[in-house]
Amino acid sequence: MMQLENINKEGEKGIPEDAHVLHFWEPCKFEITDDYKFVHDNFLFNTCSNLLYMIAFPILVFINKFFFGFSIEGKENLENIDTGKITVSNHVHPMDCTMVGLGNFPSKTFFTSLETNFKIPIVRRIIKLLNAIPIPKNIKYTKKFMDSIDTLLQNKKTVHFYPEGSLWPYHNKIRHFKNGAFDFAVRNNVPIVPMVFKFIKPKNISNLIKSKPLIKLVILEPVYPNKLLSKKESAIDLKDRVHSVMSKELENLK
């Protein structure tokens, strides 16, 4: 696995900040078509999805705790939000989507995901049932995708974005953010709840067992759009404020 700890800004070692440094086997075909449903309302699908959530939850709690020393701090910051919400986090581990799901539980999380993830065997079926929503490459389907996200937020659902756009394993800096999550938050007048993955050096007996750092998910206070600004200005302002609080939190490695 590539070591990324020292790649902190665009251009260092020739790797742009939004470059994909992990590449998975993608032999399956996947294509968004005119009749593709980004969010499923089928009774059978939702029943199977809920059943998978019930089965997966205790398994993922065990796996993430046992193998990665996973812990959560700040779940109280998800309380008292009576609208839809967008959660965002740094993207630093292949399992971090499951950790975000545990952080948001009992609320179900809808994840925006690259189309390529729907080409990975087995994974493509699981993430579909766990309500992953492909981000279309074809601009023809962008409006339908955006309308689906808007509807979820208006119906008080939780949607997660990785604003960095790509996964950099065990990276210890917050990278540049894309605009999408913040545009959605402003348009739907919902908060952004920042989440920060931090890597903690194992202590005591854990230091003898684990070679990788422990993973902690810190859930920060909601950040709300500034209604006094234009929509464009408000989205930029929201992005900057969220980036700032996440960067400051990551600097504190406790």
> What's the pLDDT tens digit per position in 66-76?
999 999 999 99
User: Could you tell me if residue 164 is inside a domain?
Assistant: yes
Strand partners, 112: 133
> What's the pLDDT tens digit per position in 83-98?
999 999 999 999 999 9
User: Could you tell me if residue 156 is inside a domain?
Assistant: yes
Asked whether the predicted pLDDT for residue 135 surpasses 60, the reply is: yes
Q: Cis peptide before 134, with omega less than 30 degrees from 0?
A: no
Residue 149 CA to residue 131 CA, distance in Å, equals 12
User: Could you tell me if residue 13 is inside a domain?
Assistant: no
User: Could you tell me if residue 158 is inside a domain?
Assistant: yes
Element (H, E) at 214: strand 214-219
Whole-structure pTM value = 0.89
pLDDT band at 11 (very low <50, low <70, confident <90, very high): very low
Element (H, E) at 234: helix 231-251
User: Could you tell me if residue 84 is inside a domain?
Assistant: yes
Asked whether the predicted pLDDT for residue 17 surpasses 50, the reply is: yes
| Apex 186 CA angle, 180 and 187, nearest 5 | 90
Domain count, the chain: 1
Return the SS3 of 140. helix
Phi/psi at 179 (5° precision): -85, -20
| pLDDT at residue number 41 | 84
Mean pLDDT of the chain: 89
pLDDT band at 9 (very low <50, low <70, confident <90, very high): very low
Domain span including residue 169? 39-251
User: Could you tell me if residue 232 is inside a domain?
Assistant: yes
> Strand 192-200 to strand 132-135: parallel, antiparallel, or no bridges (unpaired)?
unpaired
| pLDDT at residue number 57 | 93
> What's the pLDDT tens digit per position in 151-193?
999 999 999 999 999 999 999 999 999 999 999 999 999 999 9
For 103-131, the DSSP string reads HHTTS-EEEEEEGGGGGSTTHHHHHHHTT
User: Could you tell me if residue 20 is inside a domain?
Assistant: no
Residue 249 CA to residue 252 CA, distance in Å, equals 5
| pLDDT at residue number 14 | 61
Q: What is the mean pLDDT of residues 58-84?
A: 95
Supply the CATH number for residue 106's domain: 3.40.1130.10
| pLDDT at residue number 13 | 57
Return the SS3 of 102. helix
